[in-house]
Amino acid sequence: MTMKLEFPLLGLLAARSMTGYDIARWTRVEGKFSGLDRHPSQIYRLLSRMETEGWVSHVVDPRSTAPDAKVYSVTDAGFARLLRWVHSVYSPPRRFQDPEFIGRLRIAAMVDLPRALQLLEEELEARRRQVAENRGRDRGEDHLSEAARPEIDVHALALFADELNAYGEAAIDQWIAWLERMHDVITQQLAQRGAEQGATELGTTEQRAAPSESGSSERTGR
């Protein structure tokens, strides 16, 4: 599944204003770990199109010793588009560690923690089901008693297939463990925020009630 680059860019610009050079450097350094590395010319073309669509805007930052730079920021329309994408239906692909899921989760964590938690739960359900359906499956095609051609080493084939299968199982188990850890972290964050909000609301209620109680006491004294 290929994620549209516009959404990660909108997410970047929602967090902070950046020049096209800054964005290109981010995709080259950080984006390569999530399949988002792009040639700078592609990024500049996309920024131009996004500005035409009204999703980003720029101001010129004058430079005395270098060409002036365009500093891009996300607009209200661009942020609304980003939110629609974050809340759109997520269909887990067959392959785990998909760049679109990682990008969507990253942005959801910035703007809507409950949605991030929901995405984690959907991905967890899909990967647990994937393990249940495939772990321990019949792999007879990897363990042949003899091959169709004499040049084929069936023992080496079985060894390689077993090692590759073990690697795949360990990788998805590690992915599930990370998802579970992130689920716990976000759940704790939401609980903490709920407690803080409850304490704030309680304090506000008590402050509003205090003058009323004082006035009541004064009236009783009279």
pLDDT digits (tens, 9 = 90+) for 115-152: 999 999 999 999 999 999 999 989 888 899 899 999 99
Distance of alpha carbon 139 from alpha carbon 163, whole angstroms: 13
- Structural contact between residues 60 and 68, judged by C-beta atoms closer than 8 angstroms: yes
Long-range contacts of the stretch 25-33 (C-beta < 8 A, 24+) = none
* Sheet with 18-19: strands ordered across: 18-19, 69-74, 56-61
* CB neighbourhood size of 73 (10 A): 15
Residues of the chain with pLDDT > 70, as a percent, come to 90
Q: Write down the pTM of the prediction.
A: 0.80
Question: How many Cβ atoms are within 10 Å of 113's Cβ, its own excluded?
Answer: 15
User: In angstroms, rounded to a whole number, what is the distance separating the alpha carbons of residues 71 and 8?
Assistant: 17
pLDDT of residue 16: 93
Helices within 4-146 (DSSP H only)? 6-15, 20-29, 40-53, 76-87, 99-111, 113-134
Taken as a whole, the chain contains a residue count of 222
pLDDT digits (tens, 9 = 90+) for 55-114: 999 999 888 888 888 999 999 999 999 999 999 999 999 989 888 899 899 999 999 999
Placement of tokens 């407690």 in the chain: 195
Specify which residues 59 forms β-bridges with: 71
| Contact in structure between 5 and 58 (CB atoms under 8 Å) | no
Q: What is the pLDDT of residue 3?
A: 64
Instruction: Answer whether 83's CB lies under 8 Å from 77's CB.
Output: no
